Amino acid sequence: MGLQWILRTLACIPLLTATTAWSAEIHGRSSTQFLWFDNASTEKKQAEFAQYLNLSITNIDEAGKLSFYGYGRATQDVRNGEGLNGRVYYLYADYRDLYDKIDLRFGRQFVNYAAGSALIDGGQIELKKAGPVAFSVMGGRNVFFDLDGEATSSRDYVFGAAAYLTGIKGTDAELSYFLKFDKDGVARDQIGGSFKQYIFNSLKVYTNARFDLPSETFSELLAGVKYFPRSNLVLTGEWYQSYPTFDSTSIYSVFAVNRYQEGVFRADYAFNDKVSINAGYNRQDYGAGANADVFEVGCRIRPIEQVQVSLNYDHRSGYGGKLNGGIAEILYEPIKPLELAAGIHFDVYERDRVTGEETARKYWGGARYKLRRDMSASVRIEDNVNARFTSDWQGRAAFNYDF
Amino acid sequence: MVAVLGCALVCLQQQSYAEKIPHGEYAKMAIKECNDCHKGEGIAPNHDADFLRGHRVLAVKAGNNCNQCHQQKWCLDCHQGGGTGDDLGQSNFGRDYKPKSHRSDFISIHPIKALDNPQQCYRCHEAGSFCNSCHSRFPKGSLRIKSHLMLGTNGQTVNWAIGEHATEARRNLQSCQTCHPEGDVCIKCHSSGKTRPHPRNWKAGNFRDRSNGKVCQKCHLPGTF
């Protein structure tokens, strides 16, 4: 199915080019890549060519209301005989401001409501400018992917509706509904809500919730405050809880589960254009006395204009295991068209006392050169040293053309 | 009721309301300049180091203006695994690109990371099918899960009571689903007349109606639930 979409899209490109005579604008990116990696399924080294195409066609009609957007890829394995693979991320027509009030979008697209999100083959209609409230309805085939490709079955569908505020300064609010079907019936039936309020010029209060109708519980509930006394300082406090809920058509929906809760506190501060730091603490509660603590610190430093250093570290201990690790990366632009980058990921982890501590490291380096304003070539190579590999090289080379 | 709603809508349309400032023209500004302006308007700075964790609240319909600067590609490169190589720091898992939250040897550390808010995996990965495509390949007993550790003189026996499987399952039931998507192993003990698995205040009718009784019939005889 995914491959058919890609081939259809590619077949349409010459026709789309012809529309330039009507002053339509065609922009996008073609990315031709070569990737080599360890295939986790077959545990063999795999090498593939990939072709990405990201396309937008705007100003198709005289009023500039109709546009098309598409994004997909095709890959060809050249080593293990896995052959041609494809994935269409989106491909939709967008018509804006019908009667100056309605936006229409049809095709494969990503939809995100507070009640649920999905990639759909279908449509979304938005009634905006109905006073301070806008309305949205959507529906279509529910598209999802597993490791090998599209895993949607013939009876996977989603539908949803949302009402949200658009015209009140400093206030955002949404109430939405999300319904998902699979081959056995109604899999998800949820109400979602989201609210944000900016007050006193330095405070943001927000909440986000999903209510699961079959189990009659809040499957997710988030309440948070952001305090920003200055433009370079943000203090965040959040409380979040969830009851793991499953599709109503899954046997797992009938089991009793514990409530998960977490409290987050973090601070983000920018000293100046050259140095910014962040630190956070997360307390996790899994019920029945099981807890975990996560501490996190990070900084971004720009000692000179051409160099950017990024450091992140977190420490987790408690239920589920211990994890100590982080990422260090450096980006350097010696001359304008050239970008060099390198980094290391380092983790020491212990899942339980029986297994003891193990270490995982990833070393990577890369370079990108801008050949022209609309052309660039890049290469990225990494080596993984961990419990599974003493050395595992993988990487990609890409040539991008913007049009 | 419809008439009242209709009248309300017409009345509301007669009034003028504040519209958000279009942000497309500011897309290439430095974040510091964005933050200065946001502070001046009483809006919290965003796109900061906390953005990966906190963007879910910003991306819902209410107040969403993401599409003024970003195409859906920007979301789906992480959520659905694609990418055209803009960020040299972005790593691959096979042919898919993966976000920085999936660092180092994520296959090994994901059982720990997945516990940090058990719902977050499902924001990008379909429950069951994505996890099961890997987990189904593991031979029985090869996963180092506390409740599944082998005991006995031959090291081939699973002792459920010592393995604390009930406590583990209540805390992290999603992980059970990754290897046992149909729950057959659970039903052996939890089917009708055996150990009751349902929570207190169980809303049996809600699940029966939505699944046309198919979920119930995995344990109960037709007409008995």
**pLDDT for residue A292:** 94
Contact list in B for residue A214 (CB cut-off 8 A) is 203, 206-207, 210
pLDDT digits (tens, 9 = 90+) for B46-60: 788 888 888 888 888
Mean pLDDT of A41-51: 89
| Closest Cβ opposite residue A214 in set B32, B203, B219 | B203
CA distance A115 to B1: 25
**pLDDT for residue A14:** 46
| Percentage with pLDDT > 90 across chain A | 68
A window 227-246, beta carbon within 8 A of B = 228, 230-232, 234, 236, 240, 242, 244, 246
| Cα dist from A26 to A40, A59, A70, A106, B173, whole Å | 38, 9, 11, 19, 48
Average pLDDT along chain B: 78
Range scoring the smallest mean pLDDT among A69-73, A76-80, A194-198, B156-160? B156-160
Average pLDDT along chain A: 89
Q: Return the residue in A133, A143, A254 with the most chain B beta carbons within 10 A, the one to mutate for interface testing.
A: A254
Instruction: Flag if B72 and A109 touch (Cβ within 8 Å).
Output: yes
Residue A283 has pLDDT above 80, yes or no: yes
Q: Does A152 touch chain B (CB under 8 A)?
A: no
Instruction: Flag if A378 and B88 touch (Cβ within 8 Å).
Output: yes
CA atoms within 13 A on the CB side of A224: 31
Closest listed residue to residue A115, CA positions, set B130, B155, B56 = B56
A window 179-218, beta carbon within 8 A of B = 184-187, 189, 192, 194-196, 198-202, 204, 206, 208, 213-216
Instruction: Give the closest-approach CA distance of A14 to chain B in angstroms.
Output: 22
Instruction: Flag if B183 and A251 touch (Cβ within 8 Å).
Output: yes
| Closest Cβ opposite residue A284 in set B59, B116, B167 | B116
Q: Does A176 touch chain B (CB under 8 A)?
A: yes
Contact list in A for residue B20 (CB cut-off 8 A) is 166
Confidence of residue B124 (pLDDT cuts 50, 70, 90): confident
pLDDT digits (tens, 9 = 90+) for A51-71: 999 999 999 988 889 999 999
End-to-end CA distance of chain B: 38
Q: Tell me, what DSSP letter sits at residue B110?
A: H
Instruction: Give the closest-approach CA distance of A164 to chain B in angstroms.
Output: 5
Q: Does A96 touch chain B (CB under 8 A)?
A: no
| Closest Cβ opposite residue B105 in set A214, A251, A384 | A384
CA distance B32 to A272: 9
Residue A4 has pLDDT above 60, yes or no: no
**pLDDT for residue B4:** 60
**pLDDT for residue A18:** 46
Instruction: Flag if B105 and A248 touch (Cβ within 8 Å).
Output: no
Going by DSSP bridges, is the β-strand pair B150-151/B96-98 parallel, antiparallel, or unpaired?
unpaired
Chain A nearest-CA residue for B30: A273
**pLDDT for residue A186:** 92
Contact, B208 vs B220, CB < 8 A? Answer: no
Q: Please report the ipTM that was assigned to this predicted complex.
A: 0.82
| Percentage with pLDDT > 70 across chain B | 80
Q: Tell me, what DSSP letter sits at residue B2?
A: H
Range scoring the smallest mean pLDDT among A156-165, A243-252, B8-17? B8-17
**pLDDT for residue A8:** 55
CA distance A36 to A77: 10
- Is the pTM here over 0.90, yes or no? no
**pLDDT for residue A7:** 47
Closest listed residue to residue A164, CA positions, set A205, A192, A203, A201 = A192
**pLDDT for residue B182:** 83
Chain A nearest-CA residue for B14: A131
A window 306-335, beta carbon within 8 A of B = 316, 319-323, 325-327, 329, 331
Instruction: Give the closest-approach CA distance of A15 to chain B in angstroms.
Output: 23
Closest listed residue to residue A5, CA positions, set A107, A80, A96 = A107
CA atoms within 13 A on the CB side of B122: 20
| Cα dist from A268 to A230, A301, B11, B51, B124, whole Å | 11, 14, 44, 11, 26
pLDDT digits (tens, 9 = 90+) for B168-224: 888 888 888 888 888 888 888 887 777 788 888 888 888 888 888 888 888 888 877
Go through the domains of chain A in sequence order and give each one's CATH number. 260-403 (2.40.160.10)
Between residues A221 and A5, which one has the greater pLDDT?
A221
Contact list in B for residue A256 (CB cut-off 8 A) is 170, 197-200
Instruction: Flag if A214 and B18 touch (Cβ within 8 Å).
Output: no
pLDDT digits (tens, 9 = 90+) for B133-164: 788 777 666 666 666 766 655 555 555 555 57
pLDDT digits (tens, 9 = 90+) for A367-392: 999 999 999 999 999 999 998 889 99
Range scoring the smallest mean pLDDT among A109-113, A119-123, B13-17, B68-72? B13-17
Contact list in B for residue A167 (CB cut-off 8 A) is 17-19
Q: What is the DSSP string of B114-169?
A: TTSSTTGGGGTS-TTHHHHHHHTTSPTT-S--GGG-EESTTS-EE-TTTTTHHHHH
